[in-house]
Amino acid sequence: MSDSIKRVLVSDKLSQEGLAIFEAAEGIEVDNRPGLSPEELLACIGDYHGLAIRSGTKVTAEVLAAAKKLEVVGRAGIGVDNVDREAASRRGVVVMNTPGGNTVTTAEHTLAMLMSVSRHIPQATATLKAGKWEKKKLQGRELFNKTLGVIGLGAIGRIVADRAMGLKMKVIGYDPLLDGEDARTLGVELVSLDELYRRSDYVTVHVPMTDETRGMIDAAVIEKMKPGVFIINCARGGIVDEAALDQALAAGRIGGAAFDVFVEEPPPADHPLLKHDTFVCSPHLGASTEEAQVNVAVAVAEQMVEYLTTGNPRNAVNLPAVPSDVREVIAPYLELAHRLGALAGQLAPKGAKRFTLTTAGEVAQVSSRPLASKALAAFVGARLDGNVNEVNAPHLAAEHGLELIEARAGSAGRFVSLIQIEVESEGGSFELAGTLFGEDDPRIVRMQGHDLEAIPEGALLVFHNDDQPGVVGGIGTLLGQAGINIAGMQLSLHDETGKAMSIVNVARLPDEEVLAKLAALPHILWVRTAQL
């Protein structure tokens, strides 16, 4: 098989529409093997560059350690609880999900659960089929004019809020990432968590499972809620403390609860929540519609193919999220940041302790994190053997005592935008800066205090020397004798120091013998090489 072919393993059931995208992609070979046991996955994963999963496959640290070629794990769905993201990040494996594929479906299921628990629909169905007519016993309550508290106003939470307002409910919400103006645009009153608990007739959670959200609705929180409140969880099992909920239902402290998710799935038959008549449940059906299954399968296939063929990571959960408006601004500068980082990695003194990326001008008006990630990965990759990318570069940098700093400068001088990298090491500091000429033509415009206009590509020789006649001639003569063509040269003089710096684009890098002769030329202070 050609090394250019990327192999993808599909280890959970994926719709045919998603498989068709893999099969049609040039340079991709897909193996559809749903239902692999953990032992079978461990035995075969080393052959694959991509792994497409749903909730069934557990991507553990052990699996990732065996996945020597793995570049990306794609989750057809939102939750990635079944992937060891820390281990994946350390190994440079991108983990991506498909947050838009099942948002409507999950939001609709939330509302279905809310209505079911309010009107006792599951109990009514069961008793009627059992030959009973329990109309009085199953009296419910209206949603009209009730207050719904939405915790988490992301994609799903926003749809729930919108649909609930259509039912003429009053919607209040809590989201630490949302400001009041955005909430007002949604028609939602933004409140604190304590106020949400105090005012809500219904509370629904739409947050990811993290250390902060695990058990966030516990016995103490339930005590803050209105008597008779209803709690809905179609997000992740464990966000609501199941033991505390059991006690509150048994005591009649709350009116009811509806869960689509549990800490242990499937829950054991003797799970205490299952005995309560006021508890409505479903077996993790939030994303289980025909439309959603097709949507997430198509999305994960398209994203994985794009990453494996172009390197563009969409919806990566272990990379900084980049809003579309920010990406439009920084996209032309990503390659520049990569080249500057790679060049700094080859030219800066060893023992780097601090890596600072500073943006100035127009590019400084948006977040510099994507540029810093790109530059750091190139810098670390130039110094370490093995796979280094934007995912594992921060971990590798931290392990080697390298601190990443992002900064902004007010002015880019005579340039529209400027990116500067400074590396502080035990052996001194090194700085260089670059910009774009036109839309996508990168240039090095400063190095070690010297103004230049050099092209950062191919084989490069960088000289620092005394400003004396004959230096350039001596360099040209030695390179000519070695049969090395000069493709370009940029020379910069520093009047205050009497020193000069030049960047020479050459057809190929010289061997050690020629390099030693160049370094021994009169007035040469040092010469370094780089390959971009």
Q: What residues are labeled active site?
A: 236, 265, 284
- The answer to whether 437 touches 503, Cβ cutoff 8 Å, is no
Q: DSSP 3-state helix, strand, coil percentages of the chain (rounded to 5)?
A: 35, 25, 40
Amino acid at 345: G
Euclidean distance between CA atoms 260 and 234, whole angstroms: 5
Residues 6+ apart with CB under 8 A from 449: 431, 494
Question: Per-residue b/e over 444-474, b at no fewer than 16 CB within 10 Å?
Answer: bbbbbebebebbbeebbbbbbbebeeebeeb
- The answer to whether 231 touches 242, Cβ cutoff 8 Å, is no
Token pair of 353, please? 């302790």
CB atoms within 10 A of CB 516: 11
Token pair of 349, please? 């003194």
Which SS3 state, helix, strand or coil, does residue 290 take? helix
Euclidean distance between CA atoms 329 and 311, whole angstroms: 19
Beta strands in 245-362 (DSSP E): 256-259, 279-281, 352-361
CB atoms within 10 A of CB 222: 22
Helix axes 369-383, 324-347, angle to 10 degrees: 30
